[in-house]
Chain A
């Protein structure tokens, strides 16, 4: 069975067809043979029986009339039936009456007579016993024996012929089937061949030949269709693959670029983190410094105030005047020092004004290098954009940097100062915010800064100078930061150092430079309420104001100030102006006080004073409701000038830092 299953379709089909044909032919032949046998036999038997009946009927008379001769004569007629070998008539008591033997038969018979009509089949003969009757009464028995030899030989001949015919038919069907099976197997074989080829060569452009419009045909067509689809898919896939590789390559490059940029960003971020750290460091130090400076400032206010007042009381000619002048300059230096300290403290906002800094830089450089063996070169374009700066602070910056450069070249040299307009676009390694900037470059050919110190130079109290305090560059850094600018440094030992400052340009035109009023106390008249928590400040300020011609009253804190102001208003003796200190520890400060006072008197003429020169309130005093601002420690002329302008409704002068170290 397995063998059969694995035969090729051609052989299978041929075999099946042959088998079917063979079975059909065999069944037909056998059936016919059987039928033939049966019918022939039946016919023979019928024949025999008929013959027996005839003979029986004919021999009745002979039997009745006991004429055996006549009977034998009748029996002899059986000669005509060659298959009958023996015949005999027996009387009713079963004794033989007449007999017949076919001429060639030698042996006689003495069969056992059966009482009934009967057929006995022997090996090669059939015996028939027939009752001879007359008027329904049995008068004798007829016995006939017919041999089947001929019958059998006939059957054999028939079988043989049919077998031959069967063989011929099978041969024919073999030929036919082997021819006809092609119509089925050819397409199948062709298709399977194509499949084999495809799976071997992976060539999907091959197609199966469609032979007929039958199921095989549809299969082949469907198969071809499938192949086309596979082929198309393959090409598509190939394209996609190429495209994909393309994409991958592209993505890789993109990734690489992004990675590069990421690296760059990381570097920048690190730098920025360092900056932030630095800023934080500075802030914390600043807080500390601020705290100290605030107290110090208050004391200084008193000192300066007193000295200043004393100076004015003393005449120019007296020695005391010179003494006091020295004291004043020293205390002013102290003031500057505290101011420098205060630039680190919290909320140190510069009082920025749009300014053209060309003049400022020139002046600052000139002043800083006066008396030095170092020369300078300036390269400042006329169309330098204006920047929003606190002039005093910028001055400080330039001053500090030039002094450092000067000190780096003890044997002389040249400092190059260059300014230029710059448009910063995205991707600048240092400056993150795009826009217009001005760049200030200060380059010296000094000894340079060692690599290990470069990162520390802006740290407060870091100095390599024996007599340095270490605040110069720290304040520079802080100021630049507060101006939303950047500062960078490059240095090489023995070659020189270059500082680059970037400041955001201002869209506004430069404001007119302020006049510096020299030493004049502005006199005025009016009732002034002075609020300050420090008693000594109150005393000296009071003295200043009184000297200037005002009536002064004092309050410790905001609450007291408000009450006094209210009371004065109620008794129709209001104050003309009020000077409010910004920071009142443990009490209502300037901000809240002005708020409340404004509710009482919206047109209140208030001046804010503070030791924190860089508080935003001082910078934007108008927004808070003040009409003017002074920063402690203040000189007489400063205080009186501001007060005067406020009382007269003029725009108050802004006093910036003195150009002193």
Chain B
């Protein structure tokens, strides 16, 4: 190796390290502060561990387990981390849907804020289909969405409407219920 070559190589090595450090710190920085919707995505994934679907739904092993995002998708690529994960031996799929026309495909439906007006219709459609409805708009839980996210001191919290949960035919673990704020259907209207 000539003196010239050696110095070039040195330069190259230092540049690579710099990039790596930056990249690492970037990723690190990313890990340090997960985004709201990353948290929510993780929560949604974990919800599945604490929710029991009826047997007749789950028994079709081959059919994928779908999480449908209805309306505007606030998650972005937050669900990327969940790719390849399985739930009860079924592959996890995240779909974005515009309308609720084919509700059979979805086990979990995240109803975006944009669909707030059409919420009762959506809920009517999903009635009796053992679908876990999730939202993160204020008031959704009262209206009948089973789990509704809300923020509290920069922390992601959620409310669970147990009446809605009952109606959906899903069994929600007490452990989850413990963590959530319990909500009933609006009685006094």
Contact = CB atoms under 8 A, between A and B. Distances in A.
Contact of B173 (A61, A62, A67, A135): A61
B85 to A, nearest CB: 10
B119 interface: no
A60 B47 CA distance: 12
B176 A61 contact: yes
A350 to B, nearest CB: 173
B49 A65 contact: no
Interface in B143-189: 155-156, 158, 173, 175-176, 178-179
B179 A134 contact: no
A220 to B, nearest CB: 86
Contact of B50 (A58, A61, A66, A67): A61
Contacts, number: 27
A62 B46 CA distance: 11
A64 B47 CA distance: 9
B155 A66 contact: yes
A70 interface: yes
Contacts of B43: 65
Contacts of A60: 175
B30 to A, nearest CB: 15
A135 B50 CA distance: 11
A538 to B, nearest CB: 188
B32 to A, nearest CB: 11
A65 B46 CA distance: 8
Q: Is the interface of A mostly helix, strand, loop or mixed?
A: helix
Given A61-B173, A65-B43, A135 B49 contact: yes
Interface in A123-150: 134-135
B86 to A, nearest CB: 10
A61 B179 CA distance: 7
Nearest to A59: B175
A61 B175 contact: yes
Interface string A209-246: 00000000000000000000000000000000000000
A62 B158 CA distance: 12
B177 to A, nearest CB: 9
B152 to A, nearest CB: 11
Interface in A55-80: 58, 60-62, 64-67, 70
Nearest to A57: B175
Contacts of A61: 50, 173, 175-176, 178-179
A75 to B, nearest CB: 13
B179 A67 contact: yes
A268 B156 CA distance: 165
Contacts of B39: 66
Contacts of A64: 46, 49
Contact of A70 (B49, B50, B156, B179): B179
Interface in A22-73: 58, 60-62, 64-67, 70
Contacts of A65: 43, 46, 158, 176, 179
Interface string A69-105: 0100000000000000000000000000000000000
Name the residue in A62, A67, A134, A135 with the highest tally of chain B Cβ atoms < 10 Å from its Cβ: A67
A135 B39 CA distance: 19
A62 B179 contact: yes
Interface string B24-49: 00000000000000010001001001
Contacts of B158: 65
Name the residue in B39, B155, B156, B178 with the highest tally of chain A Cβ atoms < 10 Å from its Cβ: B178
8 shortest A-B CB distances, which residue pairs?
A: A61-B175, A67-B179, A64-B46, A65-B179, A70-B179, A61-B179, A61-B176, A70-B178
Given A60-B175, A62-B179, A66-B155, 15 more contacts: A58-B175, A61-B50, A61-B175, A61-B178, A62-B175, A64-B46, A65-B43, A65-B46, A65-B158, A65-B179, A66-B156, A67-B179, A70-B178, A70-B179, A134-B46
24 contacts: A61-B50, A61-B173, A61-B175, A61-B176, A61-B178, A61-B179, A62-B175, A62-B178, A62-B179, A64-B46, A64-B49, A65-B43, A65-B46, A65-B158, A65-B176, A66-B39, A66-B155, A66-B156, A67-B179, A70-B178, A70-B179, A134-B46, A134-B49, A135-B49
Interface of A: 58, 60-62, 64-67, 70, 134-135
Interface of B: 39, 43, 46, 49-50, 155-156, 158, 173, 175-176, 178-179
